[in-house]
Amino acid sequence: MNILVTGGAGYIGCHVVDILLERGHKPVVFDTFYWGTEPLKPWQDRIRIIQGDCRNSKDIIYALDGIDGIIHLAGIVGEFACKANPKAHFSSNVESTRTLVNCCTDPEMDLVRDVVYASSCSVYGNVKGLHEIVTEETPTSPLSAYAHAKLRSEEIFLQRAHEVPHFHPTNLRLTTVFGWSQRPRLDLVTNLFTYKAWKDRKIIVHGDGMQYRSLIHVRDVARALVLVLEAPRFIRSGMTFHLGEESNNKTVREIAEIVASKVPGTEIEYLSGQPTDRRDYRIQCDKIKNCIGWRAEFSVEQGVEEMLDKLNTMGWNWDNPNFRNSSFNYE
């Protein structure tokens, strides 16, 4: 199938492109290239690359020509990046979804019927003392503008599916991603701790670190996104799935301890006060396993080891702001 991957040059997108090729699809990357085209170098001769903006219907309509399905990843990712760039955030994370959906379903065009959307478990906020484990039916309570936007986009997809019976979107709520990608992100909790341990032999945790975060390896995420798009419509159309692994429901303290165990001599310092990120939830992940047959293959320990190997061998300038979404000035 010809699959459009919006945000295909990003952290998750690079793995999606690789897996689509592995499974015999033809990926078309559609991206503003905030982080450049360099991350796509290993595959550039085997894919179509379109520079475009999801906020622009003309860009999308041209890109959708001949496309069988979409994996929608494009957006401004993370609470701090959104806070620092509110207009770019709203236009990229909410309005762009509306534009994409309109282009897919316009009756004059009837362009694309199948979309898998990368949403986030951030929509649950902080459920401590309320829910032992979070299912897809647990009430949402987003804490940040980013999480609100992910929820709003989910609703836009589902609302249109309700109105247009031949439109088949699926919302995947991703847990927090870790592991290596050709477009590395060092601002995600596991990768950040790994980087700090490697560089300073010190990890700083704000608060007691007892809040839960749910984690998933970037390669497992990419494989799930592709498997869901390949699944029969009756299984995925209009559905919401968690994308995570229950054995990866860890406290921030546990994540720091795993990383420290892999980098001898690493000290963990707990600063008094509240955590900078108030999210706290444990995610149940049975639904995607039962319906799609997907299983996570990578543990947190493996992800940390892989990151350490890359930090030791790649020789890149790890201070480059391109490796951290929050320090970027979006337009």
Ligand X SMILES: NC(=O)c1ccc[n+]([C@@H]2O[C@H](COP(=O)([O-])OP(=O)(O)OC[C@H]3O[C@@H](n4cnc5c(N)ncnc54)[C@H](O)[C@@H]3O)[C@@H](O)[C@H]2O)c1
Residues in contact with ligand X by the rule CB under 6 A: 6-7, 9-13, 31-35, 53-55, 73-77, 92, 96, 118, 120, 174, 176-177, 183, 185, 188, 325
> Given the complex with ligand X, which of 77 and 252 has the nearer CB atom?
77
Contact residues for 142 (Cβ-Cβ < 8 A; gap 6+): 122, 123, 124, 125, 148, 150, 151
Is the sign of the CA dihedral 244, 325, 193, 298 positive or negative? Answer: positive
Task: Find the DSSP H helices in 73-215.
Answer: 79-84, 86-90, 96-105, 145-163, 189-200
CB atoms closer than 10 angstroms to residue 111 = 17
> Given the complex with ligand X, which of 136 and 265 has the nearer CB atom?
136
What tokens does 261 get?
């165990």
> Given the complex with ligand X, which of 76 and 265 has the nearer CB atom?
76
Q: What angle do CA 10, 103, 26 make, to 5 degrees?
A: 50
Q: How far is the CB of 14 from ligand X (least distance, A)?
A: 8
- Rg, Å, the chain Cα set: 19
Q: How far is the CB of 279 from ligand X (least distance, A)?
A: 11
Q: How far is the CB of 102 from ligand X (least distance, A)?
A: 15
Q: How far is the CB of 328 from ligand X (least distance, A)?
A: 9
Query: Whose CA is closest to 73, among 264, 229, 256, 296?
Result: 229
> Given the complex with ligand X, which of 8 and 273 has the nearer CB atom?
8
Q: How far is the CB of 29 from ligand X (least distance, A)?
A: 9
Q: How far is the CB of 319 from ligand X (least distance, A)?
A: 18
CB atoms closer than 10 angstroms to residue 272 = 7
> Given the complex with ligand X, which of 127 and 188 has the nearer CB atom?
188
> Given the complex with ligand X, which of 12 and 205 has the nearer CB atom?
12
> Given the complex with ligand X, which of 202 and 246 has the nearer CB atom?
246
Q: Are strands 249-251 and 212-217 parallel, antiparallel or unpaired?
A: antiparallel
Q: How far is the CB of 33 from ligand X (least distance, A)?
A: 5
Helix, strand or coil, per DSSP, at residue 197: helix
Query: Whose CA is closest to 34, among 240, 239, 256, 183?
Result: 183
Q: How far is the CB of 39 from ligand X (least distance, A)?
A: 8
d(C-alpha 118, C-alpha 100), whole Å: 14
Residue number of the CB closest to ligand X reads 10
d(C-alpha 285, C-alpha 14), whole Å: 24
Q: Which DSSP helix (H) or strand (E) runs through 287?
A: helix 286-292
Q: How far is the CB of 128 from ligand X (least distance, A)?
A: 20
Compute φ and ψ for 17, nearest 5 degrees: -60, -45
N-to-C CA span, the chain = 32
Token pair 């309700």 in the structure block, residue:
162
> Given the complex with ligand X, which of 54 and 224 has the nearer CB atom?
54
> Given the complex with ligand X, which of 17 and 188 has the nearer CB atom?
188
